[in-house]
Structure 1
Amino acid sequence: MENLDIAEKNNGLIIKNIKNFEAKHIFDCGQCFRWNEQEDGSYTGVAYNKVINVKSADNVLYIDNCNLKDFNDIWYKYFDLNRDYDHIKMKLRNDKILEKAIKFGYGVRILNQDPWETLISFIISANNGIPRIKKCIEALSESYGKKIGEYKGQTYYSFPEPEILKEMRIEELLKSGVGFRAKYIFNAAVIVGEKQMNIYRMKNLSTEDARKELMLFAGVGPKVSDCIMLFSMEKHDAFPIDVWVKRVMEYFYLPEGSKLKDIQEFAQDKFGAYAGFAQQYLFYYARELKLGKNN
């Protein structure tokens, strides 16, 4: 992103001329689970062993507990600030439905998250609600992660490494509230921790090949694999289909009761390389407005 006006102030940054960035849209669109809204409308979150607080208003981004080095090394990439979202919106706006969804969720950005953390987070997400997913991830981090430090009176922990989780018994993992997913988490930790599979290499594969490899993990189906690819591997043609995306696709584009495979193929044909961005706009639009519910 060009022409950013960045100033350091009081253990934080003030970044002007920031376009297409709305904290609420980014952190509430189902792609991440370690960001929580504060009373002032800002969001505090953990990523890459750092804790920051983010607030956006009038094309200005405020990041607290952050210095310029961390912004350049971590957050510039994490927040996808090198991408031209005006260009993406222009490519998608020829669809009237997407034009409304983009207008509604104008500040959505796709985060570039850690593949290991994203793998486990979305394994936990299966048949689960967001508040419970967040609780499970925090419980795992507090039990098996490393203490990062304190911020505004709260202690924060890193996401646990696979090498740590693979040494745990499934009975231990169950204490984090993950339920039947405990065996999937353990299985993934063994595979990644013992380097049977390199999930950091998958971004170099085609979307189809990466999807096949991800689905070798127990507990990873088509939706979870597409979430992992979209939110941590820069596979922007991935199109995760959850209940809200299915509803909005059937509400606007396809007959009710369409098969997931048919929805996937329709989305790939219609949105192509921008399918993942279309998915995020449609997901946020559908869920916030409860489109397709009880219709």
Structure 2
Amino acid sequence: MIEFALRTTGRQIDLDSTLDCGQTFRWSKDGEWWKGVVRDTVLFLKENSDGIIVRSSSESLLGRDVYSGIESYLGLEDDLQMIRSTLEKRLRAFDLKVRAVSEKALSEASGLRILRQDSFEMVVEYILSTRNSIPMIRWMSDRLSELFPENRIDFCGESYYAFPSLSQLKNISEETLINLKIGFRVPWLLKLFSKIEKESYFSGLSTLTVEEKLEELTKHDGIGYKVGSCVILFSYGELSAFPVDIWISRVMKDLFAFSGSTKKLMRFGMDSFSPYGGYYQEALFRYYRTHKLGRDFK
């Protein structure tokens, strides 16, 4: 086990907001600790007065040493003060209700950061997210990982499972996926696993523009603008992305009296709150979900 203190002085972060806002699925809170699996590394995180105590099962994280890897993963390079200031300027174009609700949402999410997660894992998990709840996405991701005993990681007296590689998933059967209650998403995943030769395909998309990333990702079955936007935001760090799910559709109707297709709503969010639409979206998503707002806007 590797344990170290990550100082976050001047770089505000709230682990509760960051890890429980719907952008990631394999984390859970146990007392003071957040425990999760980031691709093939088990991490325990706990906040203290100076920053974050990190416990890691590995010396590396997503291709970096664990020290720089955790800073990148947690989005600590983002200037939250500048992001907040920019969004407040964008909001001046809207009426008092929009500004008041947005101010509350941004304040309650003041320490929320956009994670930089593994692109292949994000593609699979966000395909699973289609018409699904966060607890079920977590359950499916964990059960999918547990299919491979060789991926077991024993850490601090508990057992965890790394997320499977593409080469492992290429050998998975339709029956096995059906037994995981993946349902109508099964053909999408099987086609993805067979069509993509190497995981480097996904990392290679990092050099493309936002529009090019979306165009490439949406060529695959099961990846529409919602899934594609989530992947480019939470994996590639394209902070202008504005994913639209049922909650954000409700927000658009409630706050902006605006409705339409996923693409239309996505474009509105990206154009109105560039270059930080993703941070605004997450703040609104968390606020409406936490306070159970907008349920009358179907």
TM-score if structure 2 supplies the norm length?
Answer: 0.87
Q: 1:219 to 1:197 in 2, by over 3 A?
A: farther
Task: Tell me which of 36, 47, 54 is aligned to 1:45.
Answer: 36
User: Mean alpha-carbon deviation: is it higher for 119-128 or for 51-60?
Assistant: 51-60
**Structure 1 segments unaligned to the other structure (5+ residues):** 1-9
* 1:22-74 Cα shifts (integer Å, max 9, x gaps): 11101111111111111x14210011411111122555212223688743242
Which letter maps to 2:271? Answer: D
Please say if 1:263 is aligned against 2:258: no
Please say if 1:76 is aligned against 2:79: no
Alignment match, 1:127: 131
* 1:120-178 Cα shifts (integer Å, max 9, x gaps): 00000101111111111011101037435222432111111111111222112222222
**Contact kept in structure 2, 1:251 and 1:291, CA below 8 Å:** no
Alignment match, 1:13: 4
- CA–CA distance in 2 between the matches of 1:90 and 1:27? 23
How many residues in Structure 1 have an aligned counterpart in Structure 2? 283
* 1:223-254 Cα shifts (integer Å, max 9, x gaps): 00100110111221111001111111221123
- CA–CA distance in 2 between the matches of 1:154 and 1:185? 29
* 1:1-295 superposed matches below 5 A: 11-16=2-7, 17=9, 19-38=11-30, 40-58=31-49, 60-65=51-56, 70-94=65-89, 95=91, 96=99, 97-144=101-148, 146-192=150-196, 194-195=197-198, 198-255=201-258, 257-294=259-296
User: Mean alpha-carbon deviation: is it higher for 63-72 or for 284-293?
Assistant: 63-72
- 1:18, distance to aligned residue in structure 2 (A): 5.6
User: Mean alpha-carbon deviation: is it higher for 60-69 or for 228-237?
Assistant: 60-69
**Contact kept in structure 2, 1:224 and 1:240, CA below 8 Å:** yes
Which letter maps to 2:193? Answer: A
Which letter maps to 1:264? Answer: M
- CA–CA distance in 2 between the matches of 1:145 and 1:211? 34
TM-score if structure 1 supplies the norm length?
Answer: 0.88
**Structure 2 segments unaligned to the other structure (5+ residues):** 92-98
- CA–CA distance in 2 between the matches of 1:226 and 1:91? 21
**Contact kept in structure 2, 1:14 and 1:62, CA below 8 Å:** yes
**Contact kept in structure 1, 2:225 and 2:263, CA below 8 Å:** no
Which letter maps to 2:108? Answer: F
**More RCO (CA 8 Å, sep 6+):** 2
- CA–CA distance in 1 between the matches of 2:221 and 2:200? 13
Q: 1:209 to 1:277 in 2, by over 3 A?
A: same
**Contact kept in structure 1, 2:36 and 2:44, CA below 8 Å:** yes
- CA–CA distance in 1 between the matches of 2:57 and 2:269? 38
Which letter maps to 1:292? Answer: G
Q: 1:196 to 1:289 in 2, by over 3 A?
A: closer
Which letter maps to 2:244? Answer: I
Q: 1:196 to 1:67 in 2, by over 3 A?
A: closer
Q: 1:37 aligns to what SS in structure 2?
A: strand
- CA–CA distance in 2 between the matches of 1:138 and 1:146? 14
* 1:93-115 Cα shifts (integer Å, max 9, x gaps): 23224322110111111111111
Which letter maps to 1:85? Answer: L
